[in-house]
Amino acid sequence: MATPKLLIIAVLGGTLDSFGGTLLHMIALKRSPAHEAVPLSNTAPFWGVVAAVVFLGESPQFTSFAAAVLVVLGAYFLASNHDRSDKQTTRWGPWIALAAGVLWGVAEIVPAKHCLTQGMTPLTYQLMALTGSATAWGVFALSRYCLGGFSWSRRGMSIATLTGFTNLFLGSVLWLFALDRAPANLIAPIRGLVVLFGFLASVLILKERPSKRSAIGVLLIIAGVMLVSIAW
């Protein structure tokens, strides 16, 4: 049964995750190349494993921690870029991206797992999380509009709507079902696969040219995902 306390936790979890983490990630993308910002934001699997052990009392498993370390190392190599053309613009981008990763890792694991173990269904949690996130985004958009900094286009809104459905709703529902059926510190490293897809998208779609060290990062990410999949 979803008590008022659990509903509030779900709302806060969604606000921190889908609003706070996403906002930091978007700011990082404006200040750094995608092939840097995406890997650092997606160190969330590591922070998710740490949060599951520290806050939820789950027993640490060597394979899950090893996989998380591989994901984080892969993110490090992917994010390494010593050929920045505009150091002033990208100076704080990587740190903001890392902050997004910490927030995502904790917010996706702790409140969700707590509510699910107390009897809340995944769909109920997702509904409350989206309510908190939508409210926060509405307040943010209204404040930007009042300050004269809000602009939009029909194409941009269409892309944002599609992204919101596939990512914030469909992807989150699948994640919650998985979280309800396995220990959080075991499935969290699988989220590191986002790093690989983000890296490929930055090359194929955005036409970015990462450093050669990026290949090492890709291999580490794949190794981490394979390790946790075999252990599962």
The token pair that represents 58 in the structure block: 């789950």
The answer to whether residues 156 and 181 touch, using CB atoms and an 8 Å cutoff, is no
Residue 108's pLDDT band (cuts 50, 70, 90): confident
Per domain, the residue ranges of the chain are: 4-231
Q: Give the percent of the chain with pLDDT over 70.
A: 84
Helix (H, G, I), strand (E, B) or coil at 211: coil
Contacts of 123 (CB under 8 A, 6+ apart): 173
Q: Which of 102-111, 143-152, 169-178, 189-198 has the lowest mean pLDDT?
A: 189-198
Please write the tens of the pLDDT for every residue from 198-227: 778 888 888 888 777 777 887 887 787 777
Please write the tens of the pLDDT for every residue from 121-136: 888 998 999 899 989 9
The answer to whether residues 10 and 111 touch, using CB atoms and an 8 Å cutoff, is yes
pLDDT at 71 over 60: yes
**Cα–Cα distance, 95 to 73 (Å, whole number):** 16
Q: Where is mean pLDDT largest: 57-71, 109-123, 159-173?
A: 109-123
Helix (H, G, I), strand (E, B) or coil at 174: helix
Q: Within its chain, how far is the Cα of 12 from the centroid?
A: 16
**Cα–Cα distance, 68 to 199 (Å, whole number):** 18
CA distances from 198 to 100, 163, 208 (A): 15, 14, 12
- Per-residue confidence (pLDDT) for residue 125, from 0 to 100: 92
Residue 88's pLDDT band (cuts 50, 70, 90): very low
- Per-residue confidence (pLDDT) for residue 150, from 0 to 100: 65
Q: Which amino acid is at 82?
A: H
In 3D space, the residue among 90, 124, 101, 91 whose CA is nearest the CA of residue 11 turns out to be 124
- Per-residue confidence (pLDDT) for residue 77, from 0 to 100: 80
